[in-house]
Structure 1
């Protein structure tokens, strides 16, 4: 739980009373590799902090899944649109590795916002960060080649990228697995 405290204190330090209140609402959940965290059509009920593991966000289709996000240790993960609106999710989340998450329910998070000194500040900054990640991804699709998107991903997470199956990486950068193989050959 120290990772989440450090992450939050980096955003906006919590006093001990607020931290005790917030941390009392957290639940530690462990998942095996390839476990579904959220199914298509289900309502996202939790905001989760990844203490260990890699999470994939994707849209399941009949032909092949469309991967649009990876989240790693020391990051928050949620189907944010479903979480905010409490409506069914249009995508799924699964673990790519054994994972440990610290979860807080939607209801409990609202209580943290209401009863803590800087809960709203932390929530706003996390929402802003999620927006920036989404915006960066959208801009990369509009302004960069698949090879540049692969290199960006590789530069950001070289060690962790080795744990993600190539078919998911290919989907994430918007190419077929064969095209990704050609990109990887050109780079090496």
Structure 2
């Protein structure tokens, strides 16, 4: 659980007692490639830290998947729209690789907020990061051309770009896979 503790230490200061509380409130969960952490219609019961692996967040729109976010090692993941009010989700979170997670339920998270001297700060920092990413993605869809959105993907996700299937990258950018191939060819010829 040292990875978990180190992830907290990157965001807040914690004592040894607080580290023990963190270890006690999180459990390990393994998800196989292709399995879902969350399916549309379910209530998101857990927040998680990705220890190893890769996930995608997507929305099903009349049978078409719209990928809007990727999470990998060191990322916190959750559908906060479902998790916080405990309402059914309209999103899916799927493992793109065998994925190992540290998970915590809503009550455990509230316990951490109260039990850590900087617990509330921890929650704020994590949610601010998610909020900024979502706003950037939304803005990009309205103001950027597909090629710019692809470049943004490559800048934001350079470390995982080779691990993500091209059709999910195309979905994230908001184009068909054939259009992504043309964009990639143009960029390659510009170099």
Shift of 1:23: 1.5
1:61 alignment partner in structure 2 = 61
Please give the alpha-carbon distance, in whole angstroms, between the structure 1 residues aligned to 2:54 and 2:146.
22
Partner Cα distance (1:50, 1:39) in 2: 18
Q: Distance in 2 between matches of 1:136 and 1:73?
A: 21
- 8 A contact 2:5–2:22 mirrored in 1: no
- Structure 1: 5+ residue runs without aligned partners? none
Which deviations, in whole Å up to 9, do the C-alpha atoms of 1:26-83 show, x marking residues without a partner?
A: 1111111111111111111111000111111111234321111111111001111101
Aligned-residue Cα RMSD (Å) equals 1.3
- What does residue 80 of structure 1 align with? 80
- Where does residue 28 of structure 1 map in the other structure? 28
Task: Output aligned runs, 1:101-116, within 5 Å.
Answer: 101-116=101-116
TM-score, normalised via structure 1 length: 0.95
Cα displacement string for residues 82-115 of structure 1 (whole angstroms, at most 9, x for unaligned residues): 0111100011110001110000111111111122
Q: Which residue of 1 aligns with 2:177?
A: 177
Cα distance in 2 for residues equivalent to 1:132 and 1:183: 26
Would you identify which runs of 4 or more consecutive aligned residues in structure 1 move more than 3 Å? none
* TM-score normalised over the length of structure 2: 0.93
- For 1:17, the equivalent position in structure 2 comes to 17
The number of equivalent residue pairs is: 188
Match of 1:41 in 2: 41
User: Counterpart in 2 of 1:151?
Assistant: 151
Q: Tell me, in whole angstroms, the C-alpha distance in 2 between the residues paired with 1:138 and 1:23.
A: 35
Deviation of 1:159 (Å): 4.0
Q: Residue in 2 aligned with 1:93? A: 93
Matched, 1:125 2:125: yes
Q: 2:187 is matched with which residue?
A: 187
